[in-house]
A = this chain, B = another copy of it.
Amino acid sequence: MDKITVSIITIGDELLIGQTIDTNSAWMAQQLNAMGIWVHRRAAIGDIREDILATLAAEAALSDVVLMTGGLGPTADDITKPTLCEYFHTRLVQDRDTLQRVLHMFESRGLPILQRNVDQALVPEAATVIQNHRGTAPGMWFEKDGKIYVSMPGVPHEMKGIMESFVLPRLETHFNTPAVVHHTLITSGMGESFVAERLVDFEAKLPPHIKLAYLPSYSLLKLRLTAQGKDKVSTATELSLYFTELKERLQDIYVTDQDVSIGEVLGQVLLKRKKTMGAAESCTGGLIGSWITAVSGSSAYYKGGAITYSNDMKMKMLGVKKETLAAHGAVSEATVKEMLTGALDLLEVDYAIAVSGIMGPTGGTDEKPVGTVWMAVGSREKMVTVKYQLRYDRERNTQMAAVYAMNELRKLILELEPEELN
């Protein structure tokens, strides 16, 4: 059958004036892609009746499914439900299940219930109501002229609950979905255009239903191969042949063949070797620790960290010498070496990371401009130090310093304890 297409419409002024970043659409697209449904358009509009009506009609003309998020909150700026009634020629009625759920939710929290909370149980009569177990506003499923429309609250975890419990399974049974298979390879240490140059003939021989995409992300480059086909098994088999070739061609810059964060990659390397790590963070301020512990189960290999933002703490917690700081400064090879040794001792780990830098916008000097970062990674046996000169804003410099440092440790561990060959 033909490609099943989805338009996502996000409703709400907060997405247009830039106070909220839309993370819902990315999550929805990932889930839909995994079952062979293609998000080909996304539109963001404000809480304006005419815009909602016009966009619903325009997207339904182009797509099989229209998924809407937002505009269902209890406050006065939400006009989505009355507008849906107008679009579907229906009226608002009270949904008993929703009302009971909302009443129960407020009772169990000991909160008084307001009229506007009761009104959350009003739904368009034409809708199939989807219970929201994580909040008050229910989801709504509509069918009209062969198209499917779903309206969901914009709060991410509420939307996710409604998608997982109802919308995704229902779409799967409604459509005879094609197979779409993605396979992602992450590389490090070579720019996008150089990798592309190496893959010119590889790309040229890809059949039309297999696509290669480049997705740069900080110091890492993601390469994603996507195949579409009739069934999952044969499509995956075909894709895996191309993917194996891709992996071989990029062996020297290969990081992982999973689409995971650098925290997960490093965690897996440690877990496989039953080794532990910790970090001494100055300029990254705890970001390395927070990325590593974002992975469930990280307590198996991450023991802790010392955030030594001040020089006093570098000396007290890590034993960095006063003379070293005086002679070389906090952002220096000598300092990060002593930070690393101190971290290995303090945290009693097999491997450690130490980072110190000037993230900007202030604090730079002629000798050490903004973006100068020294890092040391290693064990009691071997230590590697690297200096980077980053060129971006404070936030991005910090994130890049964290990614680079974690990747340096990953490379060193692989060198010291190579992967078994099977």
Contacts and interface: CB of A to CB of B under 8 A. Distances in A.
A102 B187 CA distance: 24
Nearest to A46: B40
Contacts of A313: 303-304, 347
A333 interface: no
Interface stretch (A189-197, A237-245, A371-379): A189-197
A421 to B, nearest CB: 31
Contact of A27 (B18, B31, B224, B359): B18
A21 interface: yes
Nearest to A10: B42
Contacts of A18: 25-31, 33, 39
B305 A73 contact: no
Given A22-B21, A285-B293, A306 B304 contact: yes
A304 B310 contact: yes
A302 interface: yes
Residue of A13, A114, A116 with highest tally of chain B CB at under 10 A: A13
A19 interface: yes
Contacts of A290: 284-287, 289-290, 398
Contacts of A212: 76-77
Given A22-B22, A41-B43, A42-B16, A289 B317 contact: no
A69 B302 CA distance: 39
Interface in A311-338: 312-313, 316-317
Interface string A59-94: 000000000000001111100000000000000000
A259 interface: yes
A104 interface: no
A169 interface: no
B45 A294 contact: no
Contacts of A222: 19
Given A294-B394, A304-B306, A347-B313, A74 B196 contact: yes
B157 A392 contact: yes
A30 B16 CA distance: 9
A303 to B, nearest CB: 5
B214 A20 contact: no
A208 B259 CA distance: 48
A359 B317 CA distance: 27
Contact of A75 (B42, B58, B193): B193
A393 interface: yes
Contacts of A347: 313
A285 B296 contact: no
A422 interface: no
Contact of A303 (B21, B41, B312, B395): B312
Interface in A76-134: 76-77, 111, 114, 116-117, 134
Given A284-B290, A302-B309, A259 B51 contact: no
A30 B17 contact: yes
B77 A193 contact: no
A49 interface: no
A207 B149 CA distance: 35
A18 B38 CA distance: 11
Given A74-B193, A193-B75, A194-B114, A286 B293 contact: yes
A197 to B, nearest CB: 5
15 contacts: A13-B211, A18-B25, A40-B46, A41-B44, A58-B58, A114-B197, A116-B193, A155-B216, A285-B289, A286-B286, A286-B287, A293-B309, A294-B395, A304-B309, A306-B317
Interface of A: 13-23, 25-31, 33, 38-46, 48, 51, 58, 73-77, 111, 114, 116-117, 134, 155-157, 182, 191-194, 196-197, 203, 211-217, 222, 224, 226, 259, 279, 281, 283-290, 292-294, 296-299, 302-310, 312-313, 316-317, 346-348, 359-362, 391-396, 398
